[in-house]
């Protein structure tokens, strides 16, 4: 659904779709490639968010052994 909406608009998705058609792809192939491109970007965004969550926000400095006891 996102790919179809992007093709209807006048943005990056529509330009990519048009380039694929110019390259000789059928409409069905071009739409499949656009869907794949969108899913790849979403996947990368999810991985980046997960990596950010895995990082401690404010790590505590290491405590010297003399103060730990």
Average pLDDT over residues 43-50: 92
> CA 56 to CA 58: how far, in whole Å?
6
How many domains does the chain contain in total?
1
pLDDT at residue 47 is higher than 80 = yes
Structural domain includes residue 13 = yes
Residue 59 — very low, low, confident or very high, per pLDDT cuts 50/70/90? Answer: low
Neighbouring C-beta atoms of residue 3, cutoff 10 Å: 20
Asked if residue 45 is part of any domain, the answer here is yes
Question: Residue 59, exposed/middle/buried by CB under 10 A (0-12, 13-18, 19+)?
Answer: exposed
Residue 67 lies in a domain: no
Range of the domain at 40: 2-53
Say yes or no to pLDDT of 60 above 80: no
- Asked whether residue 37 is assigned to any structural domain, the reply reads yes
User: Nearest-5° angle of CA 14, CA 18, CA 21?
Assistant: 140
Q: Residue 1 has what pLDDT?
A: 85
Identify whether 44 is part of a domain: yes
Give domain status of residue 12, yes or no. Answer: yes
Contact 37, 6 (CB under 8 A): no
pLDDT digits (tens, 9 = 90+) for 1-42: 889 999 999 899 999 999 999 999 999 999 999 999 999 999
pTM: 0.71
């Amino acid at each position: 659904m996102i790919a179809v909406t992007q093709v209807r608009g006048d943005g990056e998705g529509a330009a990519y779709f048009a380039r694929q058609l110019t390259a000789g792809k059928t409409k069905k192939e071009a739409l499949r490639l656009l869907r794949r491109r969108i899913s790849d970007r979403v996947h990368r965004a999810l991985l980046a968010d997960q990596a950010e969550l895995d990082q401690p926000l404010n790590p505590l400095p290491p405590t010297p052994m003399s103060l730990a006891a």
